[in-house]
Amino acid sequence: MLLPLLLLLLLLMLLPALAILRQRQPQDARLSWRAGLQHRVAGGALSWAAAWQQWRLEQSTQRAGRSQQQALRWCLQGAQRPHVPLRRTTDTSTFRNHLPLTKASQAQEEESGGQLLPPMSTQYYGEASLQATLLGLAALSKAYPEVLAPGGMACVTPTSPWPRPLPWPWHALGQGVRAPGAKHPGALLLEALRSPELRALEAGTATELLDVFSGLEADGEELAEAMAAGNPGPPLPRRAAELREALELGPRGLALRLWPKLQVVVTLDAGGQAEAVAALGALWCQGLTFFSPAYAASGGVVGLNLWPQQPLGLYLLPPGAPFIELLPVKEGAQEEAASTVLLAEAQKGKEYELVLTNRTGLTRCRLGDVIRVVGAYNQCPVVRFVCRLGQALNVRGEDIQEHVFSEALGRAVGQWPGAKLLDHSCVESSILDSSEGSAPHYEVFVALRGLRNLSEENRDKLDHCLQEVSPRYKSSRFWGSVGPARVHLVGHGAFRELRAALAACPSAPFPPEMPRVLRHRHLAQCLQRRVLS
């Protein structure tokens, strides 16, 4: 890409000279002409770069085995750990036979020598991240042609959903296509509110966007006053009035009332986001498509999304770096699964845990993320995310996985009149020392819309639903070895405070995953302090 970028930079240097040729025109017209030219150049550069990356993707996926060997060599030769064996190996079988699988928590402890790890980078800089961003932008533009028009995109969170920040000339394609800045979310939201022509709304993750819309409802009048007063920018009293009118009609469909031309919401899939996507789609972002350009984990970008209009997120697992293996998930025996397989060996309909090796030393690291193969792209699998193994509840060997608990909670909330689930987290009673005088149990914290108090009858429904979806939990409850789940309703902002506490942890991953099971007391106490009933 070096030659095209040099040509683009040369064109940028020529722009002032070209502008002189139009100096007889009014200043606004000259600026508009220059911005339009920059946008056309950026669009052409994106098309060329995306076509190049698409060609490379085709070549690598048609020879997945060979591509994975090259990726493994690249990872091992550049590994930052001081004592990595087999640096010169190109044989994947030798690599797998000599290096054991390691869980993410174990890998972090080994790397840090028992010390806390430094914060993760907020962006990735591998080939997969560049492919994900360029191909994601190209696919988004193809599905929604007006999205990349000038002023068509705005990012309302400090973090960006695009895995790789892109330099000029892509800045000209829209407000959101840029490296994440250090701006306050309120200022970013105000910028977006001043632009009624938006076609795409961007946020780092769906949970962050949920915080944005919750904050919009709480601070709507203050934002309207700022727009009317022209702080910042010129006064927009009419737009301020439109904001007030839109908020008065409630949360359902609010995004389309504020931005009538909005078509798509772009967020990065990072685990634990399904609940936030469902809440946004049912309320504030009703009628809009959600698109995640990639599936990301703390070790790198592991999946590319080439299908913006497909629901539930389809991801192609590319054969380049980081090096990906798939560990078959055996029902009821996830700890003692079979040996790993490579991408070309994945079978449609099967579920696998992702295993990652990258240059930072996460050698053969089990991520705990389970995916299901739903198709193929040349020799590589196309997958959907299923669940995270590390998010299981297990006080007496019942082992309730994240997706099983979420199903039970969804059934229970469906029986609570008028309630809409926004967020939840669980804690095993031993974490909060709340089992004294009772059997070990689950402490469940929920944020709801449409319900301000939980009756005992409603609380009991969750325990009944858990027994319906988990025979082992039902048996434990029958024999009294597990006590009934205790449900707590938390107030506005409780989960935002939890996410802030998570982000402050020295070893916090990027993108910020939303844990559904809390293992640390101080995090659980963030929610415990905000209990309403």
pLDDT digits (tens, 9 = 90+) for 302-318: 899 999 888 778 999 99
Per the model's pLDDT, the better-predicted residue between 293 and 178 turns out to be 293
| Closest by Cα among 148, 147, 150, 146 to 31 | 150
Residues sharing a CB contact under 8 Å with residue 83, sequence separation 6 or more, in sequence order: none
Least confident of 51-60, 71-80, 176-185, 391-400: 176-185
For residue 336, the model assigns a pLDDT of 52
- Residue-wise pLDDT for 441-488, tens only, equals 999 999 999 888 889 999 999 999 999 999 999 999 999 999 999 999
CB 361 within 8 A of CB 107: yes
Residues sharing a CB contact under 8 Å with residue 451, sequence separation 6 or more, in sequence order: 416, 417, 418, 419, 489
For residue 434, the model assigns a pLDDT of 76
CB 400 within 8 A of CB 428: no
What letter would DSSP give residue 148?
A: T
**Coil/strand/helix, residue 511:** coil
Task: Kindly state the helix (H) or strand (E) to which residue 445 belongs, with its residue range.
Answer: strand 442-449
Q: What is the model's pTM? A: 0.85
Asked whether the predicted pLDDT for residue 43 surpasses 70, the reply is yes
What is the number of alpha carbons within 13 Å of residue 486 lying toward its C-beta?
17
For residue 507, the model assigns a pLDDT of 64
List % helix, strand, coil for the chain (3-state, nearest 5). Answer: 45, 15, 40
For residue 357, the model assigns a pLDDT of 87
Which residues are registered as beta bridge partners of 517?
426
Please provide the average confidence, as pLDDT, over all residues in the chain: 82
Distance of CA 414 to the CA centre of its chain: 26
Token readout for 238 is 């009419």
- d(CA 241, CA 249) in angstroms, rounded, equals 13
Q: Which pLDDT band holds residue 9 (cuts at 50, 70, 90)? A: very low
Which residues are registered as beta bridge partners of 371?
352, 385
For residue 347, the model assigns a pLDDT of 96
| Closest by Cα among 374, 370, 316 to 348 | 374
| Closest by Cα among 437, 182, 143 to 307 | 143
Residues sharing a CB contact under 8 Å with residue 32, sequence separation 6 or more, in sequence order: none
Token readout for 159 is 């973090």
Residue 48's CB is within 10 A of a number of other CB atoms, namely 14
Residue 471's CB is within 10 A of a number of other CB atoms, namely 10
CB 276 within 8 A of CB 207: yes
Asked whether the predicted pLDDT for residue 424 surpasses 70, the reply is yes
Per-residue exposure over 103-119, b if at least 16 CB sit within 10 Å of its own CB, e if not: ebeebbeeeeeeeeeee
